[in-house]
Structure 1
Amino acid sequence: MRRLLPILLAFLLLPGSGMAAPRGVECVVPSKPGGAMDLTCKLVRSGLQLVPDHATRAVHLSYMPGGIGAVAWHSLALPGRSDGDTLVAFSGGSLLNLAQGKFGKAKPSDVRWVAALGADYGMIAVRADSPYKTLVQLMGALKRDPSKLLIGVSGTIGSQDWLKMALLVKSAGIDPKALRFVALEGGGEAFTAMQANYVQVVSGDASEAHLMAPGGSVRVLAVLSEKRLPGLLSNVPTAREQGYDVVWPIIRGVWMGPNTRPADYQRWVRAFDSMMAAPEFGRLRSEAGLYPFTLTGQALTDYVQKAVDEYSTRASQLGLMR
């Protein structure tokens, strides 16, 4: 009987046995490892430990890079797909791509928007051994010779990383079209390229810089926030402080497929409401390099639609619409 007990327990834990172990959760990262999308899913994984109904469930991260979110969107936002335990990370960049038609004919209502976990901000960084110690010095070098430096961005022309840099140089009297941009797949790849000196500047996100800063290999020249950010980047001046009136906030959160059952969708909305209301969540969010900004369910859905409309208007003004 003692020999049969382990076998019996294993059988009882099999799916369909009546005592199945809690099913795992999948969080899809629509980029390569190491960037802010990766951080979003890792925050989901650690944050769900604060929710009693989810604390024992394993959260598996799946990486689906390609097209700065386009591959994940077209793979998981399918009309016939239904999975109540798959979450997909998104950012303000995802909404910008939607606005510009970079996901084809996709529209915000094609998926179910679950939760915004926090806010991020744009930033400009160079290597720690770079001769440029301020944004003013960098802009001066680009004004003298726009082709001198390679600038790493996540995505191609019109991506949010491209737009951040384009707005900055435009305010410095430089034609963005004269710059040399290198399109990369996610912030992790951009920082890796900079460490290899393949690019000399990265236009990315504060959360990514937050991840890289402890190693001492990166110098952040400016954050694109209204005021200085607390924590690890507190000594970094804003672009505004240095004479460039550019602010770029970034929402970070998760969505689910369009055919998710209403009961499953509401279950996840409640789970994220509970998670983000927990006192410990603030610490986890800060460790991920994000700042307070929380929305769920219908409130997030309304926010996303408004943001996409605003991005569409801005992109049209810059001649970026397809």
Structure 2
Amino acid sequence: MPNTRPLRRGALTLLASLSLSLSALAGPLDKTECIAPAKPGGGFDLTCKLVQSALMEGKYISDPMRVSYMPGGIGAVAYNAIVAQRPAEANTLVAFSGGSLLNLAQGKFGRYNENDVRWVAGVGADYGAIVVADSSPFKTVADLVAAIKADPTKIVFGAGGTIGSQDWMKAALTAKAAGLNPKTMRFVAFEGGGEALTALQGGHVQVYSGDASEAEEQMKAGAKIRVLAVMSDKRLEGALAKVPTAKEAGYDIEWPIIRGFYVGPKVSDADYKVWVDTFNKMMATPAYAKLRAERGLFPFAKTGADLDAYVKQRVAAYRTLAAEFGLNVAK
């Protein structure tokens, strides 16, 4: 009977070397995962689904990206998990938003700050908007400001979220522009934008400090509302193209709500560069622009060092604002 042991040993050696070769070829774009730091259905989910579709349709990845959910603290739970437990996972992206940066500025992510992850790409943006009911006597921001100055007790701001949230900040900035101490403004917190818009149309609040894309979608659906101004650096595209920016209206208010991704702090420079290069290629295509617009996001594309500088500038600005408004600030 022939001795097959050398053959078996040889086959095993060949399999082992093939396995090593395949693992060496595996990179950040293999078996990808996107963590949405919230329950399914919200903005983080939308952000992950956007990049999931764009990467697959553009053939940047060969297997569909897995979307997983890690709710808690508008990103705090996911941030802590990636930094402390999964810092070197090159194929794992985590979604973040402007709300995440605001919470970082207020120390709501615990012991970690904006320097503890690697910021990869900002893939789209929404912007704050000053919204009133269609039946409102206020046709411009100047009309609203004049009414606040005349009698602050008659103007009630409605928003999704409590004191210190993004919507509260937008209301506070509007009140401040009118010369009112934000602490004294009349403010009603709702569970979300839908409830706030219903209250606005019912006359229970006079102003809603919401998001431009949300207002645009609600108007398309027949909501009786009017956008007085958008908190962007320039006029937006699409249905809101005729709406002035707050700056055009004479008030220095900007509130970008960016959406993007970061990876863990120990992801290698080479793998980080693969992601940055991939996002740069992907976001330059008309196909990506179409997917982004379908999800109600406006153009915003920053990657790598450019995004890192932007994030740190925004967090610093949020810290200053939070301190001005008497909120907690991260040390």
Give the Cα separation in 1 of the matches to 2:187 and 2:40: 19
- Name the structure 2 match of 1:72: 78
Q: Is the 2:34–2:48 contact (alpha carbons within 8 Å) kept by the matching residues of 1? A: no
Q: Is the 1:79–1:259 contact (alpha carbons within 8 Å) kept by the matching residues of 2? A: no
Give the C-alpha shift of residue 28 in structure 1: 0.7
Tell me: CA distance 1:303–1:235, structure 2 relative to 1, closer, same or farther (3 Å): closer
Once the two structures are overlaid, the 10-residue window that deviates more, 139-148 or 242-251, is 139-148
Tell me: CA distance 1:147–1:214, structure 2 relative to 1, closer, same or farther (3 Å): same
**The residue matched to 1:125 in structure 2 has which SS?**
strand
**The residue matched to 1:73 in structure 2 has which SS?**
helix
State the Cα RMSD in Å: 3.4
Aligned residue among 121, 126, 129 for 1:115: 121
Give the C-alpha shift of residue 123 in structure 1: 0.8
Larger radius of gyration: 2
- Name the structure 1 match of 2:193: 190
**The residue matched to 1:116 in structure 2 has which SS?**
strand
Q: Which letter does structure 2 place at the counterpart of 1:252?
A: R
Count of equivalent residues: 298
Q: Which letter does structure 2 place at the counterpart of 1:240?
A: K
Aligned residue among 177, 190, 210 for 1:204: 210
Give the Cα separation in 2 of the matches to 1:314 and 1:196: 28
Q: Is the 1:118–1:292 contact (alpha carbons within 8 Å) kept by the matching residues of 2? A: yes
Tell me: CA distance 1:42–1:127, structure 2 relative to 1, closer, same or farther (3 Å): farther
Give the Cα separation in 1 of the matches to 2:280 and 2:122: 10
Q: Is the 1:127–1:195 contact (alpha carbons within 8 Å) kept by the matching residues of 2? A: no
Note the 1:2-21 alignment, pairs <5 A: none
Identity of aligned residues (%): 48
2:246 is the alignment partner of 1:239: yes
**The residue matched to 1:110 in structure 2 has which SS?**
coil
Q: Which letter does structure 2 place at the counterpart of 1:190?
A: G
**The residue matched to 1:252 in structure 2 has which SS?**
strand
Give the Cα separation in 1 of the matches to 2:285 and 2:184: 48
- Name the structure 1 match of 2:300: 293
Aligned residue among 16, 26, 34 for 1:26: 34
Give the C-alpha shift of residue 243 in structure 1: 3.6
- Name the structure 2 match of 1:40: 47
Q: Is the 1:115–1:297 contact (alpha carbons within 8 Å) kept by the matching residues of 2? A: yes
Q: Is the 1:147–1:178 contact (alpha carbons within 8 Å) kept by the matching residues of 2? A: no
Give the Cα separation in 2 of the matches to 1:162 and 1:117: 24
- Name the structure 2 match of 1:257: 264
Tell me: CA distance 1:285–1:80, structure 2 relative to 1, closer, same or farther (3 Å): closer
Tell me: CA distance 1:118–1:26, structure 2 relative to 1, closer, same or farther (3 Å): closer
Give the Cα separation in 1 of the matches to 2:286 and 2:183: 47
Which runs of no fewer than 5 residues in structure 2 stay unpaired? 1-18, 23-29
Give the C-alpha shift of residue 83 in structure 1: 3.6
Once the two structures are overlaid, the 10-residue window that deviates more, 191-200 or 244-253, is 191-200
Q: Which letter does structure 1 place at the counterpart of 2:178?
A: A
Q: Which letter does structure 1 place at the counterpart of 2:193?
A: A
Note the 1:40-119 alignment, pairs <5 A: 40-54=47-61, 56-60=63-67, 62=69, 64=71, 66-80=72-86, 82-119=88-125
Q: Is the 2:122–2:258 contact (alpha carbons within 8 Å) kept by the matching residues of 1? A: yes
- Name the structure 1 match of 2:178: 172
Q: Which letter does structure 1 place at the counterpart of 2:244?
A: P
Give the Cα separation in 1 of the matches to 2:92 and 2:188: 32
Tell me: CA distance 1:95–1:213, structure 2 relative to 1, closer, same or farther (3 Å): same
- Name the structure 2 match of 1:275: 282
Give the Cα separation in 2 of the matches to 1:142 and 1:177: 14
Q: Which letter does structure 2 place at the counterpart of 1:275?
A: M
Give the Cα separation in 1 of the matches to 2:81 and 2:216: 30
Task: Give the TM-score taking structure 2 as reference length.
Answer: 0.74
Give the Cα separation in 1 of the matches to 2:219 and 2:62: 31
Give the C-alpha shift of residue 137 in structure 1: 4.2
Tell me: CA distance 1:24–1:252, structure 2 relative to 1, closer, same or farther (3 Å): closer
Give the C-alpha shift of residue 231 in structure 1: 0.7
Q: Is the 2:157–2:171 contact (alpha carbons within 8 Å) kept by the matching residues of 1? A: no
Give the Cα separation in 2 of the matches to 1:111 and 1:23: 21
Give the Cα separation in 1 of the matches to 2:303 and 2:233: 24
Q: Which letter does structure 2 place at the counterpart of 1:70?
A: A
Q: Which letter does structure 2 place at the counterpart of 1:161?
A: D
Aligned residue among 229, 233, 256 for 2:236: 229
Give the C-alpha shift of residue 275 in structure 1: 1.0
Give the Cα separation in 1 of the matches to 2:62 and 2:141: 44
**The residue matched to 2:316 in structure 1 has which SS?**
helix
Give the C-alpha shift of residue 103 in structure 1: 1.8
Give the C-alpha shift of residue 117 in structure 1: 1.1
Q: Which letter does structure 2 place at the counterpart of 1:28?
A: A
- Name the structure 2 match of 1:311: 318
Which runs of no fewer than 5 residues in structure 1 stay unpaired? 1-15
- Name the structure 1 match of 2:27: none
Q: Is the 1:123–1:205 contact (alpha carbons within 8 Å) kept by the matching residues of 2? A: yes
Give the Cα separation in 2 of the matches to 1:207 and 1:59: 26
